[in-house]
Amino acid sequence: MTYQFILSEKIKRVGLLRINRPKVLNALNGELLAELAQALEEYDKAPEIGAMVITGDDRAFAAGADIKEMAEMSSVDMLLRDRISSSWDRLRAIKKPLIAAVSGWCLGGGNELAIACDMIVASQSAVFGQPELNLGIFPGGGATQRLPRTVGKAISMEMVLNNRTLDAEEALHYGLVNYVYPLDEYLEKALTMANEIAARAPIAIQLAKQAVNRAFETHLAEGVNDERQAFYLLFSTVDQKEGMQAFIEKRTAEWKGR
Ligand code: HXC
């Protein structure tokens, strides 16, 4: 499938999606977000793909939602279009692991997109921020909820209220990103990590992602209970039998995804 605002390619068992509006620092317009959601859903269904990487270019992952698209909108326009539900909620429903490979500006909706992914690999030039207050609005794509759960209340408040930005090393320090690499390595490293994950038992990966995400969505007893049910469920998969038998026979497991 060809898209207008994103580039999509398969690299081994990974679906790589590049946000492609370089002239406007990859600002996220509605069409782009819809394309991104659709491409992710396609890869989510594709048995040959085990994980996805979302990236921008070296200068910007994304400098936020497209301000020019939103500038003249009314509340009713925003409500009726409801791009947040029709893009972020679709992203959240993706079952396979998502890695954001971030370089340069990662602001506003761009940062919200990155933190909605499961892991972030950053280049040394990455800058993370929520500058929406500068525009007379505040973050609407999940940052007021996901950011405190990731970096804690103190830094989140500064980022949301006072345009505090985090450079790559600070983002690593506060647990926003998994790794920081030089500019010429970050994407390759993200793809390597995604391919490693993609080589693992597919059903266990899917349920593991779901279980970890529950930790951010529910209280402890319910989360632990959900974990246990999913854990027991895995014992009805071919891959559990294969994985344990392979260990006993001292050989590499061959996953079937069944
Ligand atoms: C539309 C944008 C844009 C954006 C940059 N551009 N960010 N267009 N929406 N979010 C455009 C500029 O208008 C300019 O176009 C071109 O990209 C290059 O940007 P410059 O400003 O000239 O670059 P620079 O001086 O290097 O400054 C980089 C920057 C700045 C600091 C990142 O562009 C900036 O502050 N951008 C806005 C960041 C922001 O406020 N993001 C939050 C958006 S609201 P022209 O045509 O002039 O060359 C949001 C809400 C999310 O994200 C809600 C949930 C979905």
Tokens representing residue 27 in the block: 């600002």
Length of the chain: 258
Q: Is the CB of 141 under 6 A from ligand 1?
A: yes
**Pairing state between β 98-102 and 119-123:** parallel
CB 55 within 8 A of CB 19: yes
What's the one-letter identity of residue 177? V
Q: Could you read off the pLDDT of 15-72 as tens digits, one per residue?
A: 999 999 999 999 999 999 999 999 999 999 999 999 999 999 999 999 999 999 999 9
CB 94 within 8 A of CB 115: no
**Pairing state between β 105-107 and 60-62:** parallel
Helix/strand/coil for 216 = coil
Instruction: Supply the pLDDT for residue 2.
Output: 85
CB 133 within 8 A of CB 163: yes
Q: How far apart are CA 255 and CA 258, in angstroms?
A: 8
Instruction: Supply the pLDDT for residue 87.
Output: 87
Q: How far apart are CA 194 and CA 108, in angstroms?
A: 25
Q: Is the CB of 27 under 6 A from ligand 1?
A: yes
Q: Which residues contact 10 (CB under 8 A, 6 or more apart)?
A: 16, 48, 49
Q: Which of 5, 19, 20, 25 for a ligand 1 pocket mutation test, highest count of atoms within 8 Å of Cβ?
A: 25
Q: Is the CB of 140 under 6 A from ligand 1?
A: yes
Q: Could you read off the pLDDT of 93-110 as tens digits, one per residue?
A: 999 999 999 999 999 999
Instruction: Supply the pLDDT for residue 88.
Output: 86
Q: Is the CB of 32 under 6 A from ligand 1?
A: no
Q: Which residues are catalytic?
A: 65, 109, 112, 132
Q: How big, in percent rounded to 5, are the helix, strand and coil portions of the chain?
A: 50, 15, 30
Nearest CA to ligand 1 atom 29: 63
Q: Is the CB of 142 under 6 A from ligand 1?
A: no
Angstrom CA distances, 56 to 8, 114, 161, 192, stand at 12, 11, 26, 17
- Degrees (nearest 5) of the Cα angle 81, 84, 87? 100
DSSP state, residue 7: E
Instruction: Supply the pLDDT for residue 86.
Output: 83
CA of 171 to the centre of ligand 1 (A): 21
DSSP state, residue 218: S
pLDDT tens, per residue, the chain with 258 residues: 789 999 999 999 999 999 999 999 999 999 999 999 999 999 999 999 999 999 999 999 999 999 999 999 999 999 998 888 888 899 999 999 999 999 999 999 999 999 999 999 999 999 999 999 999 999 999 999 999 999 999 999 999 999 999 999 999 999 999 999 999 999 999 999 999 999 999 999 999 999 999 999 899 999 999 999 999 999 999 999 999 999 999 999 999 999
Instruction: Supply the pLDDT for residue 12.
Output: 96
CA of 63 to the centre of ligand 1 (A): 5
